[in-house]
Chain A
């Protein structure tokens, strides 16, 4: 009886340990969902101005905590000089920015890509502070083009809006 009990205990114990191990492994898996496991976490974020360093710091923490692989940022309102230094001290991400030379306050887009992923980028496209895109090549998979766009909100800028959509479509057709 005791032996049986012990055997059962031992069996149950092993089973319990296996369950705990599986749960731990599942927990770790859930916490670390990234491109390495076949997932890409992509986000778009309208920042309504990205000149403020405190704002940049808050977002830096947010992106890191949520383990986002690729972030498209819109309405940065950064001028060319500021975009050179924007988020440049962010560890684990590589960044690209595009500003409008004539009116940086009404435009600005960017893309942030995790360092480990950035090696798959073979081309970055930019246009007039409204469009930014990355072309990614993964071994054994189709190429991916990710486009981040900030369309003109002002109805007075109809022609500019048309032009942005036209370029967007050109980029879509190139990527197909």
Chain B
């Protein structure tokens, strides 16, 4: 968990075009089969965690390792 400084929704939009280490953490956690807890326990659209002028982002996240799936978690 923590401040990943990378918005997963933005990553989906930009990943075809951007060549940066900005989304490296999301890429690696995805490869490790980590689960985005906010995504699976909340209704869409997900709430943002950071705001600057008109820009809103979900930069702070919780990831759960796949061997931790037995734990029931509510991420708000």
**Residues of A near any B CB (own CB < 8 A):** 42, 44, 46, 72, 74-75, 109, 142, 144, 146-153, 155, 158, 161-162, 165, 168-169, 172, 175-176
Contact = CB atoms under 8 A, between A and B. Distances in A.
Given A46-B49, A162-B24, A169-B28, A74 B3 contact: yes
Contacts of A176: 65, 67
Interface residues of B, number: 22
Given A169-B32, A175-B65, A176-B65, A44 B2 contact: yes
Contacts of A172: 32, 65
Contacts of A142: 67
Interface in B18-76: 20-22, 24-25, 28, 32, 49-50, 59-62, 65, 67-68
- In the A-B complex, the 6 residue pairs with the closest CB atoms: A149-B2, A74-B3, A44-B1, A153-B5, A151-B5, A148-B2
Contacts of B65: 172, 175-176
A148 B1 contact: yes
A161 B20 CA distance: 11
Interface string B1-16: 1111110000000000
A134 B12 CA distance: 31
Contacts of B62: 42, 44
Contact of A109 (B2, B4, B21): B2
Contacts of A149: 1-4, 25
B25 A168 contact: yes
A151 B2 contact: yes
Contacts, number: 66
- Chain A's interface: helix, strand, loop or mixed, by majority? mixed
Contacts of B21: 155, 158, 161-162, 165
A176 B64 CA distance: 12
Contacts of B3: 44, 46, 74-75, 149-151
A152 B25 CA distance: 11
B67 A151 contact: no
Contacts of A158: 20-21
Contact of B2 (A74, A152, A169): A74
